Amino acid sequence: MIKHLKKGKQEDEKAIDNQKVKVIVENIISDIETRGDAAVSEYSGQFDKWTPESFRLTKEEIDACYEQLSEQEINDIKWAQKQVRNFATIQRESMKDVEVETLPGVVLGHKNIPVDSVGCYVPGGKYPLVASAHMSIVTAKVAGVKRVVAATPPFQGKPSPAVIVAMDLAGADEIYTFGGVQAIAAMAVGTDTIEPVSMIVGPGNAFVAEAKRQLFGRIGIDLFAGPTETLVIADDSVDGELCAADLLGQAEHGLNSPAVLLTNSEQLGKETMAEVERQLTVLPTADVASVAWRDYGEVIVCDTYDEMLQVANDLAFEHVQIMTKDVPYFQKNMRNFGALFLGPETNVSYGDKCIGTNHTLPTKGAGRYTGGLWVGKFLKTCTYQRVTEEASVMVGEYCSRLCAIEGFAGHKEQADIRLRRYGKK
């Protein structure tokens, strides 16, 4: 039996929130399409109180950011990027081009071609999300993307030095300080001062994620990577203190970040709820985390592992932390998720910041149909074919008859002309 010890906002309330965001985003995109740079500047002023002469940073401005960081900070950023680059490189090497003779004289193949230009969004409204620079830019460069444009909102009224340094170290070709829908729309549709890109990647708040969704088709996107979600699956092998820390560590992302405990122990559920309240009294980011927990926090108690698995696969959450006696059971059977964190020894923060797996992950159920950002998302797997004259005749006979079934006269003639030319030899 599935029982809720605590529930968050109901689905209809969430739908109203989504609808409001959709309309706001539609209006901003359409205005930027019409008025270009002037509109970008106005929205940047309205939402971020930021209207510089140019949103693009000069080399001197980028260099000045290095001066504001300690050697330790720069080295830590480099270490995180090394882990991301290393794993992305291994993943890239696993993506082989293919060329194979499938029938005598029929050669089929595919090659992986990097997208020409990409816009990497690095969130920065509440926190300067330095790590998102590693995740998008380093990975795009490993994939071989030639032009990588990076954008981030100002943080506390100016470009965040740590984010800018991370973008530069990661290999960004152009760096802009602007955020939200205006950044996504400017990179996607282009303005007088910004060349449009072919694809936009990276996480962001509900406005950013919705802007990417609305622009998809016109440009490529990586995935729907909106407000962070975390699911902690735990049993009595761990305690409430650890569960609460793992829930609040993600709830602090934003006011609408769901954090859910799924357990087969009612005792652990109650203990975790009490611990959350205690930890909120000392957590410096409690102003955000407490609202997220109040509105989107849940504690769900099941009877069995099988029941927990069912709920977890239905939720298809972005992050899933497994802290049960039988970790391999969940590793083997979890099907819908962004990333798994297996065992109490690891946690979402390692993945978020530095361990090497990508932190840009599917939210709002997108885990049902996609994994997170990775080097393969920047590559187009495009096919080709080649045949001998003999093979053309063999395939052409099938093709001609199949075209006749569909009534495609022009297609049929494409096959027939080859039958006439190569068939008589």
Q: How far is the CB of 406 from ligand NAD (least distance, A)?
A: 43
Active-site choice (318, 389, 390, 413): 318
Structure tokens at 24: 């706001």
CA 278 to chain centre: 32
Interacting positions 160-219 with ligand NAD (CB under 6 A): 179-181, 203-205, 207-208
In the residue annotation, 318 being an active-site residue is answered as: yes
The reply to whether 119 sits near ligand NAD by the rule CB under 6 A is no
The reply to whether 24 sits near ligand NAD by the rule CB under 6 A is yes
Range list of H helices, 97-219: 130-133, 139-143, 161-170, 180-189, 206-215
Q: Looking at the DSSP assignment, which residues form a beta bridge with residue 379?
A: 114
Q: How far apart are the first and last CA of the chain?
A: 73
82 contacts 132 by C-beta, under 8 angstroms:
no
In the residue annotation, 319 being an active-site residue is answered as: yes
The reply to whether 351 sits near ligand NAD by the rule CB under 6 A is no
The reply to whether 360 sits near ligand NAD by the rule CB under 6 A is yes
Please report where in the chains the tokens 């919705």 appear, as a residue: 210
Q: For 4-39, give one letter per residue: b (16+ CB within 10 A) or e.
A: eebebbeeeebeeeeeebeeebeebbebbeeebeeb
Pick between residue 155 and residue 330 the one whose CB is nearest to ligand NAD: 155
Instruction: Tell me how far CA of residue 265 lies from CA of 305, 328, 345, in angstroms.
Output: 11, 19, 20
The reply to whether 32 sits near ligand NAD by the rule CB under 6 A is no
Selected binder of ligand NAD within 6, 14, 111, 126 (CB under 6 A):
126
The reply to whether 355 sits near ligand NAD by the rule CB under 6 A is no
Pick between residue 301 and residue 316 the one whose CB is nearest to ligand NAD: 316
Interacting positions 366-425 with ligand NAD (CB under 6 A): none
Selected binder of ligand NAD within 39, 361, 394, 415 (CB under 6 A):
361
161-170 and 59-67 helices, crossing angle to 10°: 120
Q: Which residue is nearest to ligand NAD (CB)?
A: 180
- Residues lying near ligand NAD in the complex (CB under 6 A) are found at 24, 47-48, 123-126, 129, 132, 153, 179-181, 203-205, 207-208, 225-228, 253-254, 257, 318, 359-361, 363
Annotated catalytic residues are 318-319
